[in-house]
Amino acid sequence: MSTAIAPDSTPVVDLAGSSHSAVIGVSIKDPSDTPVDSSPATGRPYANPYLAGVGIGLVLLAAFVVAGRGLGASGAFSSAVAAGTAAFAPSHAAANPALAEYLGDGVSVGPLRDWLVFELAGVALGGFASAALAGRLRGAVERGPRIGSRGRLAYAMGGGVVMGVGARLARGCTSGQALTGGALLAVGGWIFIVTAFAAAYLAGPLFRRQWT
């Protein structure tokens, strides 16, 4: 039961989390009736953030020790875009340096045979497994009470476009620059941490209606 994907607004019975029954059945249309509005809408409560953070730190350290490089996410999107462009317009992709660097060696190694592509596929698998075991799988569009699903999806997609441009310009995102660069004490990583958080706080009020 706890591994089933619950459709929108359907109360989910979580057999394991009886001590947290206050959050069970809270629909996304009415998110503000719990004091901590970011507890999970279904399933067991989230882990201690420090424990999860130390866990991510150890995973990052394992990546350094095993592969000699850190974690990433946006690079896998670049590989996917390069692969897609190359499938439709191979000469166009090969002529564009922003895509060509993600095309592999063009012989035995294709654009998707890439460390970050496999790592990000793992991220999806690991996230799915964790949510399934905690009863937190949930088919939904996360949003506040004053915005419809379409509006929220538009913000999500628009934000994705802006992040895609920003991550390419910065040569990485929260994983590749903030976490990895930050842990390696790279100057660019710390520039990214400061500028990304500053911009998010400054622009936050513009997008708050999604959540309140």
Closer CB to other proteins, 20 or 155, in the complex: 155
| Min dist. Cβ of residue 75 to other proteins (A) | 9
C-alpha neighbours within 13 Å on the C-beta side of residue 24: 15
Q: Which of 31, 86, 103, 111 binds other proteins (CB under 8 A)?
A: 31
161 binds other proteins (CB under 8 A): yes
Tell me which residues in 131-160 interact with other proteins (CB under 8 A): 131, 134, 136-144, 149, 152-160
Given a contact cutoff of 8 angstroms between Cβ atoms, the answer to whether 68 and 58 are in contact is no
Tokens standing for residue 92:
């166009």
| Min dist. Cβ of residue 15 to other proteins (A) | 19
| Min dist. Cβ of residue 66 to other proteins (A) | 5
Given a contact cutoff of 8 angstroms between Cβ atoms, the answer to whether 30 and 140 are in contact is no
Phi, psi of 138, rounded to the nearest 5 degrees: -160, 115
Q: Which of 1, 46, 87, 146 binds other proteins (CB under 8 A)?
A: 46
Phi, psi of 90, rounded to the nearest 5 degrees: -60, -40
| Min dist. Cβ of residue 135 to other proteins (A) | 11
Tokens standing for residue 159:
């934000």
| Min dist. Cβ of residue 103 to other proteins (A) | 12
Pattern 85-124, other proteins, x by CB under 8 A: x----------xxxx----x----x---xxxx-xxxxxxx
129 binds other proteins (CB under 8 A): yes
20 binds other proteins (CB under 8 A): no
DSSP state of 32: G
Q: Report the distance separating Cα 156 and Cα 117, nearest Å.
A: 22
Pattern 57-76, other proteins, x by CB under 8 A: xxxxxxxxxxxxxxx-xx--
- Dump strand ranges (E) for 48-91: none
| Min dist. Cβ of residue 190 to other proteins (A) | 7
Q: Report the distance separating Cα 178 and Cα 189, nearest Å.
A: 5
Pattern 170-209, other proteins, x by CB under 8 A: xxxxxxxxxxxxxxxxxxxxxxxxxxxxxxxxxxx-xxx-
Helices 115-133 and 74-88, interaxial angle, to 10°?
A: 120
Identify which of 59, 40, 28, 55 has the alpha carbon closest to the alpha carbon of residue 131: 40
Q: Which of 15, 18, 19, 38 binds other proteins (CB under 8 A)?
A: 38
